[in-house]
């Protein structure tokens, strides 16, 4: 690993060596992040894997092509007609559904795995019931590592199979799921298993490449706003950090304002933000169809609050109804996201109606995962399908 990078506490600034697996501060228990001594303005190579192209912004000496599944390099799509409908000049979708396992999680999985491999660790794991579990299982299989996936007891078969197909050691755990995040890391440290959980520092390093790509795709004109569906806060932190690093090397001349979008039924960050709080409080009974953003006590919640305050960000909530409507609206532009992936568009609609977003503001929505991930949500839509006999086909087509 590179010499001039360290881990630093996002809460108190305490420093730790880069070879630390534990993702949190020994003093204040806030999450750590990678800090770089020197970041030189560089030419980003046009070709190569995500790890190769952004190697100068990552702490690894040698990017390993053999562990990549082709993550990143996702399209930024302009929504022309929809923007017009919403009374906006420019609205974009960063389509993370095109990652190898159909969510942005692959970016952080590959950087987390790189960290594990560079420390000589051969066992990895994660705690997840959804996209992260699938992602870690797939990359673990690709790299030939022993991979442990911990899911909560009672998880639906529909969710188990896409994880199990990759052949990880799959454990359903009976007990408090929030507690499992911390317990897995402790036990993992003792047993040499690197748990690449939702907001660990090296997962955040992968997420920041979303910001790098947006900068490149907008010819280094930062958008006014970036809207992120937020749960643990790991992805939000990564994207924020990516823009800060692009700003630091002089590639962009301003930071976009970040918007943390949450489901109304589980909004610990937006609630704390709304009452001017400095720390998140546990949501007692989380309830939303957007399960991937249903973390009742986000481990990076306080850091997201600090960043929102530091840089003039916003936090908003949207209802399940608004999320489903946005899922349909976005599909009408050709992009089929899972409900969580439509949360940013739902937030944009709401903030535009309230005129918080003004017509000239350019806005990027992070479409975090693919629609086929969650078939149950589709049953909540009302689709119109007509039947016709082959003899009456022509009538039906023109009628
Ligand atoms: C994990 C996930 C999120 C939430 O990301 P965090 O880093 O936990 O805030 C949002 N959408 C999708 C599709 C996800 O898989
Ligand atoms: Zn600390």
pLDDT, averaged across the chain: 95
* pLDDT higher than threshold 80 for residue 299: yes
Token pair listed for 42: 């560089």
* pLDDT higher than threshold 90 for residue 152: no
Q: Which atom of ligand 1 is nearest to the CA of 338?
A: 13
For residue 27, report the distance from its CA to the centre of ligand 2, in Å.
5
- The whole-number average pLDDT for the span 295-301 is 95
Give the Cα separation of 256 and 357 in Å (integer): 13
323, 340, 346: residue to mutate for ligand 1 pocket, most atoms within 8 A of CB: 340
Task: Using CA atoms of 4, 8, 14, 15 in order, give the dihedral in degrees to the nearest 10.
Answer: -30
CATH number of 76-102+203-380: 3.40.50.1100
For residue 229, report the distance from its CA to the centre of ligand 1, in Å.
7
Which pLDDT band holds residue 61 (cuts at 50, 70, 90)? confident
- Per residue in 244-265, pLDDT (tens digit) is 999 999 999 999 999 999 999 9
Give the pLDDT score at 38.
87
- Per residue in 184-234, pLDDT (tens digit) is 999 999 999 999 999 999 999 999 999 999 999 999 999 999 999 999 999
Query: Going by C-beta distance under 8 Å and a sequence separation of 6 or more, which residues neighbour residue 223?
Result: 90, 92, 214, 256, 362, 363, 364
pTM: 0.97
Give the pLDDT score at 397.
94
Give the pLDDT score at 197.
95
Give the Cα separation of 131 and 117 in Å (integer): 22
- Per residue in 342-395, pLDDT (tens digit) is 999 999 999 999 999 999 999 999 999 999 988 888 999 999 999 999 999 999
- Interhelix angle 105-118/201-217, nearest 10 degrees: 130
Q: Which atom of ligand 1 is nearest to the CA of 231?
A: 9
Give the Cα separation of 231 and 292 in Å (integer): 7
* pLDDT higher than threshold 80 for residue 42: no
Q: For ligand 1, atom 1, which residue shows the shortest CA distance?
A: 292
Which of 107, 106, 125, 114 lies closest to 2 in space, CA to CA?
A: 114
Report phi then psi at 22, rounded to 5.
-60, 125
98, 104, 128: residue to mutate for ligand 1 pocket, most atoms within 8 A of CB: 104
* Dihedral sign computed on CA atoms, order 105, 8, 247, 48: negative
Give the 3-state secondary structure of residue 73.
coil
Which pLDDT band holds residue 175 (cuts at 50, 70, 90)? confident
For residue 32, report the distance from its CA to the centre of ligand 2, in Å.
8
DSSP bridge pairs for 120: none
Q: H helices within 56-176, ranges in order?
A: 80-85, 105-118, 131-143, 157-164
Task: Quote the percentage of the chain above a pLDDT of 70.
Answer: 100
Give the pLDDT score at 329.
98
Give the Cα separation of 309 and 306 in Å (integer): 5
Ligand nearest to the CA of 199: 1
Give the pLDDT score at 17.
97
User: What residue ranges do the domains of the chain occupy?
Assistant: 76-102+203-380
Q: For ligand 1, atom 15, which residue shows the shortest CA distance?
A: 131
Give the pLDDT score at 245.
97
For residue 15, report the distance from its CA to the centre of ligand 2, in Å.
8
- Interhelix angle 234-248/301-311, nearest 10 degrees: 40
* pLDDT higher than threshold 80 for residue 399: no
For residue 8, report the distance from its CA to the centre of ligand 2, in Å.
8
- List ligand 1's pocket residues with C-beta within 6 A: 103, 105, 130-131, 198, 229-236, 292-293, 338, 340-341, 368-369
Per-residue DSSP letter, 349: H
Give the Cα separation of 150 and 186 in Å (integer): 14
């Amino acid at each position: 690993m590179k010499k001039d990078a360290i881990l630093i506490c996002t809460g108190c600034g305490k420093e730790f060596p880069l070879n630390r697996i534990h993702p949190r501060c020994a003093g204040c228990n806030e999450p750590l992040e990678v800090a770089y001594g020197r970041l030189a303005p560089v030419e980003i190579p046009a070709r190569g894997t995500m790890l190769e192209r952004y190697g100068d912004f990552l702490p690894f000496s040698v990017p390993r092509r053999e562990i990549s599944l082709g993550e990143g390099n996702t399209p930024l799509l302009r929504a022309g007609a929809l923007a017009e409908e919403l009374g906006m000049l420019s609205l974009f979708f960063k389509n993370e559904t095109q990652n190898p396992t159909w969510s942005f999680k692959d970016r952080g999985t590959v950087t987390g795995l790189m960290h594990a491999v560079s420390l000589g660790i051969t066992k990895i794991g994660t705690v997840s019931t959804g996209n992260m579990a699938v992602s870690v299982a797939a990359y673990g299989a690709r790299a030939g590592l022993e991979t442990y996936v911990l899911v909560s007891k009672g998880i639906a078969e529909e969710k188990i199979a896409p994880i199990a197909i990759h052949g990880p050691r799959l454990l359903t755990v009976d007990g408090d799921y929030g507690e499992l995040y911390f317990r897995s890391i402790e036990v993992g440290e003792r047993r040499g298993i690197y748990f690449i959980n939702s907001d660990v520092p090296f997962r955040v390093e992968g997420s920041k490449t979303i910001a790098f790509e947006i900068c490149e795709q907008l010819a280094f004109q930062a958008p006014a706003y970036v809207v992120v569906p937020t749960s643990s806060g790991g992805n939000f932190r990564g994207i924020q950090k990516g823009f800060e690093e692009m700003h630091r090397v002089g590639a962009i001349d301003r930071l976009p304002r970040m918007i943390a979008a949450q489901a109304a039924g589980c909004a610990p960050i937006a609630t704390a933000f709304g009452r001017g709080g400095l720390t998140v409080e546990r949501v007692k009974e989380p309830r939303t169809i957007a399960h991937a953003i249903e973390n009742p006590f986000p481990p990076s919640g306080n850091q997201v609050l600090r960043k929102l305050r530091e840089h003039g960000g916003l936090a908003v909530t949207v209802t399940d109804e608004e999320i489903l409507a946005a899922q349909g609206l976005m599909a009408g532009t050709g992009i089929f996201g899972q409900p969580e992936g439509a949360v940013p568009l739902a937030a944009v609609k709401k903030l535009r109606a309230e005129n918080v977003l003004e017509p000239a503001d350019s806005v990027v929505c992070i479409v975090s995962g693919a629609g086929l991930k969650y078939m149950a949500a589709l049953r909540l839509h009302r689709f119109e399908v007509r039947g016709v006999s082959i003899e009456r086909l022509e009538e039906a087509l023109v009628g």
